[in-house]
Amino acid sequence: MMPKEMRLEEISIDVLPGVGEQRKKELEGLGIHSIADLLSYYPYRYEDYRLTDLAEAQHEERVTVQGRVFTQPSMRWFGKNKSRMHIKLDVDGVFISVIWFNQAYLKKMIQPGKTILVSGKWDRHRLQITADRTVISEEEQKKLVGRLEPVYSVTNGIKMSWLRKLVYQAFVDYGKHIPENLPEELLQRYKLLPRAKAMYYLHFPKGQRESYQARRRIAYEELFLYECKLMWLKRMHRTETEGIVHTFDQQKVDQFIAGLAFPLTGAQQRVVSEILQDMKQPVQMNRLVQGDVGSGKTVVAAIALYANYLSGYQGALMVPTEILADQHTESLRKLLSPYDVRVICLTGKMTAKERREALAEIEMGLADIVVGTHALIQEPVVFRRLGLVITDEQHRFGVKQRAALREKGISPDVLFMTATPIPRTLAITVFGEMDVSTIDEMPAGRQPVDTYWVKKEVWPRIIKFIEKECQKGRQAYVICPLIEESEKLDLQNAQEVYEQLTVELAPIRVGLLHGRMNSVEKEEVMNAFSANEVQVLISTTVVEVGVNVPNATVMVIYDADRFGLAQLHQLRGRVGRGGGAATCILVADPKSESGVERMRIMTETTDGFEISKRDLELRGPGDFLGVKQSGLPDFKVADLNEDGRILEVARQDAARIVLQKDFPQNEDYRVLYEWLQKEKLESLNFD
């Protein structure tokens, strides 16, 4: 007698007949330890035994037919091991030829009158199949015809046919103990197959429909359960961390916005109000703002920082590089000094004395906003009353950093801003416990950057083009990539281009910026470029993120195929920020197909979300986020590339159910709740 509540995760596979010491080890090599593991060891494809209607089959299509052998096999030999065997086969009254290469052993089994099943390539003109799969046993045929046979990934000497039988056996013995784990209402609403049935069909579908329905059910289940974990995390986070209640005069904020040089876009307005709404709540804000390059995130940050200031708190803005720290300090000062907000910058190039003074100002609360690199929260910086932390241009502000803040006894509101839009499916998977705001609109009058892809041989013409633009008063970037094998080469490349252009473009002034200059040198060059004292800036990738020089309209990227799509898009985003027309020229002779593809995508679209979508398709989620830090869950069936819609729905359902106040008490969700209690949620802390 089997107990009703049987935990299949706890039953070792060696309870199954035929699984001894040796087999057990081999299965474990495939990651199969328990019955549950085996039942969810899904095939990666199916062997198709459905019969083809030859009248409809295309030339060279793969077909499967069942028919009566009509002639004795005739053999021809080419040398010792090479043979060709031929028969006539009667398929529903139509006579076709079947040939086999090098499968002479079949000869004695293929006799006239016998019914056989063959698959292979169809030659429509000769009415002939070149068979690569033959089933002689009629009993086997009865079992297989019309089916899709699972194909598993096997190693370690496990035979496919044995594994199939084992999986089948496991379903016979334990299938009825597979528990349903989705709430009934969801099964009903989406007409999902019961779990046990879906799992069975994933292994042994009778046809395409079953396999589709099974896949749909399990994909939904995986995504839903994952989202439930995220929502549970969010729910606990909410109750555990008391947030600062920001109280400020909305009118003053409105005045500040009205005083800007431009009206906010609709998207900016929406995102600002989402942020301010969060700030007023007694829960800690944990929000990600996604916006394409140039969509105007800085001003959104400024508004949030101003509201934070009005509430009586200090704010911090963290950026990845010192150049950016300088730039943002300047932008914020321009925007906020008229309102008596004191913005200071904390960077590595300060003298010891300057630094001491800055730290003192922060500690005494004289500094209202502090801009700096990440060191800002790691160093012995003591804020008097920190209310808001914004991280700009940062893919992820790790859990570690947030913990560092909490350790200092502060749980300020936290806002992340990223210009590397990641497709929503990934965003809500990886940043799942955060709220996401998206600035999906460009400021009015922004023209898409004209983008061309040219071969290196036209370099002289590009120099002419740069010259012409500079004569019109515009400025240009020329980016030379970092060549990984040798830092030297990289510099040489930039250096050579710098020397060449200095000569050829004279009297136009050319500057050089690279990663090995110290921060004072970098700043000098950057300032000269910002002030239009230098018209052409040759640079390695340090300008990649965030830099804002609206007068620059030309972006030339040398060896562009060495960059990834996200980087190229970022770089291109450096131009066309002033409202006029801008040009991006990709100079590349790509050697790889993916290089060509990247160049093509760049010339086809300037939409960062579209680009990241294509990038994701090209590279897959793991590579896209960087394998090591991807933090992506390991779904067996769900595919983030394809199941975006299912994910959206699953997320909504998870939020509705798990964030419901009485969720833990609700009998309908008991199974789900108990499962969440058992799951290790720490594993979700991406860092």
Which residues, in sequence order, are CB contacts of 41 under 8 Å at separation 6+?
30, 31, 32, 152, 167
- Binding test (CB under 6 A) with ligand ADP, winner from 297, 424, 522, 613: 297
- Closest CB 545 distance from Mg ion, rounded Å: 8
Residue number, 265 or 308, with CB nearest to ligand ADP: 265
3-state helix, strand, coil in the chain (%, to 5): 45, 20, 35
Q: Where is 132: in which H helix or E strand?
A: strand 128-135
Matching residue, tokens 């086999």: 100
- Binding test (CB under 6 A) with ligand ADP, winner from 52, 66, 268, 286: 268
**Partner residues linked to 118 by β-bridges:** 65, 134
Query: Could you tell me which of 323, 548, 306 has the C-alpha nearest to residue 443?
Result: 548
- Closest CB 326 distance from ligand ADP, rounded Å: 14
Residue number, 301 or 584, with CB nearest to Mg ion: 301
Residue 595 lies near ligand ADP (rule: CB under 6 A):
no
Query: Could you tell me which of 536, 604, 616, 609 has the C-alpha nearest to residue 575?
Result: 536
Alpha-carbon span 379 to 269, nearest angstrom:
35
Residue 95 lies near ligand ADP (rule: CB under 6 A):
no
- Residue 48 three-state SS: strand
HSE-CB of 506 using CA atoms within 13 angstroms: 5
Residue number, 52 or 295, with CB nearest to Mg ion: 295
Residue 347 lies near ligand ADP (rule: CB under 6 A):
no
One-letter amino acid for residue 574 of the chain = R
Residue number, 325 or 497, with CB nearest to Mg ion: 325
Query: Could you tell me which of 650, 658, 653, 649 has the C-alpha nearest to residue 676?
Result: 658
- Binding partner of 268, given ligand ADP, Mg ion, none, CB within 5-8 angstroms per partner class: ligand ADP
Chain residues binding Mg ion by CB under 5 A are 297, 546
Alpha-carbon span 612 to 592, nearest angstrom:
20
- Binding test (CB under 6 A) with ligand ADP, winner from 178, 324, 419, 566: 419
Residues 27-86 that bind ligand ADP (CB under 6 A): none
Instruction: Give the contact letters, 439-468, x = binds to ligand ADP (CB under 6 A), - = no.
Output: ----x-------------------------
Question: Torsion angle of alpha carbons 515, 520, 524, 529, nearest 10°?
Answer: 40
Residue 569 lies near ligand ADP (rule: CB under 6 A):
no
Residue number, 470 or 543, with CB nearest to Mg ion: 543
Instruction: Give the contact letters, 299-318, x = binds to ligand ADP (CB under 6 A), - = no.
Output: x-------------------
- Binding partner of 212, given ligand ADP, Mg ion, none, CB within 5-8 angstroms per partner class: none
- Binding test (CB under 6 A) with ligand ADP, winner from 398, 550, 580, 644: 550
- Closest CB 644 distance from ligand ADP, rounded Å: 24
Residue 262 lies near ligand ADP (rule: CB under 6 A):
yes
Matching residue, tokens 């429909």: 209
Residue 576 lies near ligand ADP (rule: CB under 6 A):
no
- Binding partner of 423, given ligand ADP, Mg ion, none, CB within 5-8 angstroms per partner class: none
- Closest CB 569 distance from ligand ADP, rounded Å: 11
- Binding partner of 548, given ligand ADP, Mg ion, none, CB within 5-8 angstroms per partner class: ligand ADP
Residue number, 229 or 297, with CB nearest to Mg ion: 297
Alpha-carbon span 480 to 496, nearest angstrom:
10
Residue nearest to Mg ion (CB): 546
Residue 572 lies near ligand ADP (rule: CB under 6 A):
no
Omega before 481 within 30 of 0, i.e. cis: no
Residue number, 546 or 631, with CB nearest to ligand ADP: 546
Query: Could you tell me which of 620, 563, 612, 554 has the C-alpha nearest to residue 590?
Result: 563
- Binding test (CB under 6 A) with ligand ADP, winner from 294, 481, 511, 576: 294
> Any idea what the Cα angle at residue 257 is, between residues 255 and 259, rounded to 5°?
70
- Closest CB 581 distance from ligand ADP, rounded Å: 16
DSSP secondary structure letters along 485-536: T-HHHHHHHHHHHHHHHHHHHTTS-EEEE-TTS-HHHHHHHHHHHHTTSSSE
- Binding partner of 65, given Mg ion, ligand ADP, none, CB within 5-8 angstroms per partner class: none
**Partner residues linked to 583 by β-bridges:** 450, 554
HSE-CB of 107 using CA atoms within 13 angstroms: 14
Residue 298 lies near ligand ADP (rule: CB under 6 A):
yes
Which residues in this chain contact ligand ADP in the complex, by CB under 6 A? 262, 264-265, 268, 291, 293-299, 419, 443, 548, 550, 577
